[in-house]
Amino acid sequence: MISAAACGKIILFGEHAVVYGRPAIAVPVTQVQATALVQPRAHGLTIHATDIARTVKVEPHNLIDPLAAIVNLTLAYLNCPRPQLEITVHSTIPIASGLGSGAAISTAIVRALAQFAGRPDIAPEVVSQLVYEVEKLYHGTPSGIDNTVIAYQQPVYFLRGEPIQTFNVAHPFTVVVGNTGIASSTKKAVSDVRRGWEIDPARYEAWFDWIGAIVQQARSAIEAGTLDRLGPLLDQNHVLLRELDVSSLELERLILAAKQAGASGAKLVGGGRGGNMIALVNDQQREAVIAALKEAGAVNVLVTEIQ
């Protein structure tokens, strides 16, 4: 019996614009995780996704179903004879909420199969590449940021098509994550933004440029430890995401509640239209913001330290 895990992630700055060649900053969230348990069985190869009560019989060459695809892609990379296995996956990461649940499940499966095949040292860049192929099934035209930050388990400055850049967090800071409880399709949100971009490319390119500039300022602030600059940058990024029409009433309610409770900045994370938001807090603000988010309807609240 072999098990492996993968953490969740949040995009601090830059979602959606990252699809159009602008940078983004993403960080791991270790408080939530996906796990994959691999054990021999008498016949066949199956995956049990316990959280969604789904069982998938993994047929050879199935690259359509995401769970089957990540198994087949990984076995092909490992050049491993087709084993008789039962894979059970479980995740504490909310589905369709901007925390990278799909990429984390895929990553956990890759790591577990690599251990099974005697390859526990599989490189993060390989894991990321395998998972990215499955991200296409989930999201259509993914940025690649989810698979990257989850595979590397480090804060990353991500620019599509460029080498991965990790960077120094000069002073740890705390982010509260509030879940609207509304599952949202990243694939649809990304598709809708693309449709708007096709209709009015000049306007959308200007918004993307502005978001890219915010990302660069945020990286500079994080590396310099000037955390007082981050809150306003979060707010500015959210305003632009609202212009892209990927916010929602539920997200706006939580963001307003966090701000009124003292958070220095807040924004949606991920695809939007539901899922999660984040708020930047210090030790004095944290409990008040947590209480305010719950009062405003957050179905789950977690706290993560970025370091």
pLDDT tens-digit readout, 43-54: 899 999 988 899
Q: Is residue 291 within 8 Å of residue 176, measured between CB atoms?
A: no
pLDDT confidence band for 98 (50 / 70 / 90): confident
Can you name the CATH fold of 169-306? Alpha-Beta Plaits (3.30.70)
| Domains 2-165 and 169-306 agree in fold | no
For a pLDDT cut of 70, what percent of the chain falls above it? 100
pLDDT at 159 over 80: yes
Structure tokens at 283: 């030790």
Cα 264 to Cα 130, 173, 296: the distances in Å are: 38, 12, 18
Q: Is 146 a catalytic residue?
A: yes
Catalytic residue (one of 146, 192, 200, 209): 146
Confidence (pLDDT) at 167 = 86
Give 106-155 pLDDT, tens digit per residue.
999 999 999 999 999 999 999 999 999 999 988 777 778 889 999 999 88
Region 287-299: mean pLDDT is 98
For a pLDDT cut of 90, what percent of the chain falls above it? 82
Mean pLDDT over each residue of the chain, to the nearest integer: 94
Confidence (pLDDT) at 46 = 95
pLDDT confidence band for 186 (50 / 70 / 90): confident
Region 155-179: mean pLDDT is 91
Confidence (pLDDT) at 227 = 94
Nearest partner of 14 among 180, 158, 116, 166, judged by Cα = 158
Domain boundaries, the chain: 2-165, 169-306
Confidence (pLDDT) at 96 = 73
pLDDT confidence band for 246 (50 / 70 / 90): very high
Region 188-200: mean pLDDT is 96
Q: Is residue 158 within 8 Å of residue 26, measured between CB atoms?
A: yes
Confidence (pLDDT) at 29 = 92
Give the whole-angstrom CA distance, residue 288 versus residue 246. Answer: 27
Confidence (pLDDT) at 249 = 97
Q: What's the CATH class of domain 2-165?
A: alpha beta
Cβ-based burial of 134 (10 A; exposed 0-12, middle 13-18, buried ≥19): buried
pLDDT confidence band for 307 (50 / 70 / 90): confident
